[in-house]
Structures are given as C-alpha cells and as structure tokens.
C-alpha cells in the first residue's frame, strides 16, 4: 500500500551497523525553503546529545530540490540517512517508512519545522529510560506552553478533530496531532507495520493501534509555536480527516489490524 522506498546514505553493503540509542525520523515534502534551518536546529541538539544517534530523512516524492539538498547533508554527516519514496504518498506513509527503516532503541518522529524543538526530548528521556514504550508531546497537557497560536479557524478545526478522535478512537489522548512522538523499538516494530492511513489522520491511527496492542501512551507537556509554511487546507482536510477516521474504524471492524 505504501510502495517501495530506497535508501541513500553512507552504509556499505554487508557492513554491520551498530544500533544507535536514538533515531530521529523527519518526513519532508517540497521543503527546500525550510530544510536547512530545520536540520540546523535538529543537529545543534544532537551535537550535544550524550548517546549515539541517527537522523533519518524521508523524502515523500518531493518535486523541488528537497531530496538533492537532503542527500548533500547526508554526505557531510554520516549519521544522516535519506530514504526516498518513489512518489508522493502522504506524511503518514513517510513516517511509517522512516520508523521501520530506523535502527534506534528509541525512535522519535518530528516535523522539519521547529514548532516543537528538539530540546523537548529532554522531558521524554526519563520516561523512556524508565520503560515507557510511547511518549507523545501534548499541547493540552498541564504545563504545556503555546508561544504562537494558529489562526482561529485552524485551531477550531484541530479541537473538533481531537474531540472526534477521543470519542471514537482513544479517549485518554488529549492531543493527537502534535508532531513530536517517540516510540521504543519494540513498540514501533509492532505498530507501524499495521498502519494503513497515509495522510491526515495517521497520528490518530497509530495511537489507536498502540491502545489496541496494549502499549501505554504517556503524554508529556511541550512548548509549541505555530510555524509559517503549513500545507493544511481547511475544507479539504476536514473532509479527508473525517473519511480517514471512518477508515480506521472500518479497518478495525474488518480485521485489517490483525498482526
């Protein structure tokens, strides 16, 4: 369903690659304007990170210079890998490909923009080290902070989407769409092969699958700010999101999520 993807990076055929402590998975699509700034923010954090790491960039069939730029970054830093989907399939497909290609003990996926910065991982690490299989950033958790809000219509749409997902999928989760989620290798390798949703509701699907597979979900407060350059289109995305929530329920009813 998600198509094949190819990997470009410094790995040599037959070479054994050590498992890093952390994998950071970043899906990108037509991000030539924001790619360098986003990577600089991520690498500034990882440069001070005390454990081993890798950065997995997943190009979702970009039509601009994104893939070329990402490849140049991977040639300068051997811990960066580029995975390429052959055509645009949606952020959910790119995240799935990256999380399954990642080798880390813990696997964080985040957006290329800096709406949630890498420093928020510091709040996740004690929980992950203590055995939490999934820690997600939540803008609705106590002690979270919104520095710059979305425009009013997008914010209302987001709240309605969260309420619908809570009612139909996972009541305990208070923020489905914050793009900062970390999984243990065990949780990632159990959940992401079952993922079926490509686009707007993929976050809700993976959290639904986590609950279905009995993985606890810990919600951690984050500092978040709206960033320019969003590809959200309100009317289109409302319709697509409603359809995909229905698909999640339908997949569950028809047994599509059986391991």
- pLDDT for 1: 44
The reply to whether 247 falls in a domain is yes
The reply to whether 1 falls in a domain is no
Cα separation of 161 and 176, whole Å? 9
Whole-angstrom CA distances from 179 to 136, 175, 200, 227 are: 9, 10, 12, 12
The reply to whether 236 falls in a domain is yes
Contact 26, 61 (CB under 8 A): no
Cα separation of 90 and 197, whole Å? 9
The reply to whether 219 falls in a domain is yes
Angle between helices 66-76 and 35-46 (to 10 degrees): 30
Cα separation of 196 and 117, whole Å? 28
31-36 long-range CB contacts below 8 Å, 24 or more apart? 31/62, 31/64, 31/66, 31/112, 32/62, 32/64, 32/65, 32/66, 32/69, 33/229, 34/112, 34/113, 34/229, 35/66, 35/69, 35/70, 35/73, 35/112, 36/69
Residue 211's φ and ψ, nearest 5 degrees, are: -65, -40
Tell me which residue of 198, 9, 170 sits closest to 101, measured CA to CA.
9
The reply to whether 259 falls in a domain is no
Q: What is the residue range of 211's domain?
A: 6-253
The reply to whether 145 falls in a domain is yes
The reply to whether 60 falls in a domain is yes
Tell me which residue of 95, 176, 87, 89 sits closest to 138, measured CA to CA.
176
Contact 222, 146 (CB under 8 A): no
Sign of the Cα pseudo-torsion (239, 240, 243, 248, in order): negative
Q: Which CATH number is 122's domain given?
A: 3.90.550.10
Run means of pLDDT, 10 residues per run, the chain, 259 residues: 54 61 98 97 98 98 97 97 96 97 98 95 98 96 87 80 94 95 98 94 97 97 82 69 93 93
- pLDDT for 13: 42
- Is residue 143 left, alpha or beta, with left meaning phi > 0 and alpha meaning psi from -120 to 50? left
- pLDDT for 159: 86
- pLDDT for 153: 76
The number of domains in the chain is 1
The reply to whether 258 falls in a domain is no
Query: Rounded to two decimals, what is the model's pTM?
Result: 0.90
């Amino acid at each position: 369903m998600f198509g094949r993807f190819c990997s470009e990076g410094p790995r040599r055929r037959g070479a054994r690659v050590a498992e890093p402590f952390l994998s950071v998975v970043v899906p990108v699509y037509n991000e030539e304007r924001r790619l360098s700034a986003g990577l600089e923010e991520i690498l500034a954090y990882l440069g001070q990170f005390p454990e081993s790491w890798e950065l997995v960039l997943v190009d979702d069939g970009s039509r601009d210079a994104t893939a070329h730029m990402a490849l140049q970054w991977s040639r300068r830093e051997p811990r960066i890998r580029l995975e390429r989907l052959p055509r645009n399939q949606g952020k959910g497909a790119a995240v799935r490909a990256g999380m399954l290609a990642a080798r880390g003990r813990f696997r964080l996926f985040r957006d290329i923009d800096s709406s949630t910065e890498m420093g928020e991982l510091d709040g996740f690490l004690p929980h992950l080290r203590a055995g939490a299989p999934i820690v997600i950033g939540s803008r609705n958790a106590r002690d979270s902070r919104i520095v710059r809000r979305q425009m009013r219509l997008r914010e209302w749409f987001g709240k309605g989407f969260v309420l619908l997902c809570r009612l139909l999928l996972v009541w305990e989760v208070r923020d489905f769409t914050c793009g900062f989620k970390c999984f243990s290798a065990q949780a990632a390798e159990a959940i992401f092969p079952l993922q079926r949703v490509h686009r707007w509701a993929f976050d809700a699907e993976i959290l639904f699958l986590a609950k279905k597979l009995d993985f606890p979900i810990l919600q951690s407060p984050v500092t978040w700010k709206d960033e320019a350059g969003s590809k959200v289109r309100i009317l289109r995305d409302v319709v697509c999101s409603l359809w995909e929530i229905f698909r999640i329920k339908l997949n569950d009813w028809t047994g599509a999520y059986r391991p």
